[in-house]
Structure 1
Amino acid sequence: MSSLEIRPAAAADLPSVTEIYEHAVRFGTATFELTAPDLSEMTRRFDALTADGFPYLVAVLDGRAVGYAHAGAYRPRPAYRFTVENSIYLRPAIQGRGIGQKLLQRLIADCEARGFRQMIAVIGDSANAASIGVHSRCGFQMIGTHPDVGFKFGRWLDTVMMQLALGEGGRTIPGTSEGD
């Protein structure tokens, strides 16, 4: 991986991001969306996340976007404001090469720098060993499994919940340590 770059995503990256996510929707169980959003909807989502101060990253290999990751609000109520949920998607051809882990590590660092305290991974399909593995390698702890909560491709799917404390996590009150 001579020229891997992980950087903040830009509007020019969104056609590639849309293509990557479309493949995940159409052929995978990591997302429970049933219809792939078009470029306009992916742009709306990107704009909303970045306007709210959440990190949105892209991995570029040899000049081509091969993956992306972002964080967003875990839940809309204000008490959850220090907790984010992450998303990571890669082109199938580059999976298993460590790019997802590099994206997640950078996403974690960017979220910590913004003062977030917890990161939640809601992993679609308990058979998604790659995603569970990359989250485990980055320090996430298994929280639990919600069995049979999604129905896609004619079968029931679980979601796996994993969690990582960011920075001080829950050890201090926000605003009492540097960076909050």
Structure 2
Amino acid sequence: MTTPSIRPATTADIPAIAAIYAHAVLNGTASWELDPPGETEMLRRFDAILAGGYPYLIAERNRTVLGYAYAGAYRPRPAYRATVENSIYLAPAAQGLGIGRLLLEALMAECTKRGFRQMIAVIGDGTGASVGSRRLHEKAGFRLIGIAEKVGFKHGRWLDQMLMQKELGEGDSTPPAI
């Protein structure tokens, strides 16, 4: 099986992105939305990420989108400007094949290139059903910085939220250039 290519997402990818995300919303706990947004809303979110100067990446093989990853503002206040939050979603058939790792590595490299210094992973149900996401981030060098217990309710149960963090580039050794 050939290694998937990683590239910047385009508006033509929105239908595939929306389908992957809809599956995650309806069947998993990575997203705490209860109803999947449509393509129009996903396009609005995509445009906002790009307008903010953040990367949005696609993994594809044979012109089939296997997953996507993007970074966005961790918090809206200016002092957080060098910190990003990551998001990674994979098509069901692409899970467990190392594609999440490829996307995360490319996303970290792109964020570092853009001058971001910290990356935060907010993992929904990181102590339960989303253990794969937790392990992915651990292998990439993220460290656990906290667990908020029972702060979400989805699929008939209470969910914990796990926060993990990784320094990018110069980390906190110098002031940010952005």
TM over 0.5: yes
SS at 2:115 equivalent: coil
Amino acid at match of 1:81: R
Moved over 3 A (4+): none
Amino acid at match of 1:52: G
Find out whether 1:102 has 2:82 as its counterpart.
no
SS at 2:123 equivalent: strand
Q: Deviations over 1:44-95 (max 9, x none)?
A: 0000100111000000022200100000000000010000000000011111
Q: Quote how far apart the aligned CAs of 1:3 are.
A: 5.0
Amino acid at match of 1:171: S
Mapping of 1:148-159 within 5 angstroms? 148-159=150-161
Amino acid at match of 1:49: I
SS at 1:160 equivalent: strand
Find out whether 1:91 has 2:94 as its counterpart.
no
Amino acid at match of 1:22: A
Which residues of structure 2 form unaligned runs of 5+? none
SS at 2:30 equivalent: coil
SS at 2:137 equivalent: helix
SS at 1:69 equivalent: strand
Give the structure 2 partner of residue 161 of structure 1.
163
Give the structure 1 partner of residue 132 of structure 2.
130
Amino acid at match of 1:173: P
Find out whether 1:30 has 2:30 as its counterpart.
yes
SS at 1:34 equivalent: coil
Which residues of structure 1 form unaligned runs of 5+? none
Q: Quote how far apart the aligned CAs of 1:2 are.
A: 1.1
Between 98-107 and 136-145, the greater mean CA deviation after superposition: 136-145
Amino acid at match of 1:83: T
Q: Is the 8 A contact 1:148 1:158 kept in 2?
A: yes
Q: What is the aligned counterpart of 2:147 among 145, 157, 166?
A: 145
Aligned-partner Cα distance in 2 for 1:129–1:18: 23
Give the structure 1 partner of residue 16 of structure 2.
16
Aligned-partner Cα distance in 1 for 2:83–2:25: 25
Q: Deviations over 1:108-128 (max 9, x none)?
A: 000000000000000000211
Amino acid at match of 2:113: A
Give the % identical residues: 57
Q: Is the 8 A contact 1:3 1:62 kept in 2?
A: no
Amino acid at match of 2:167: A
> Across the two proteins, how many residue pairs are aligned to each other?
176
Aligned-partner Cα distance in 1 for 2:74–2:3: 33
Aligned-partner Cα distance in 2 for 1:132–1:50: 26
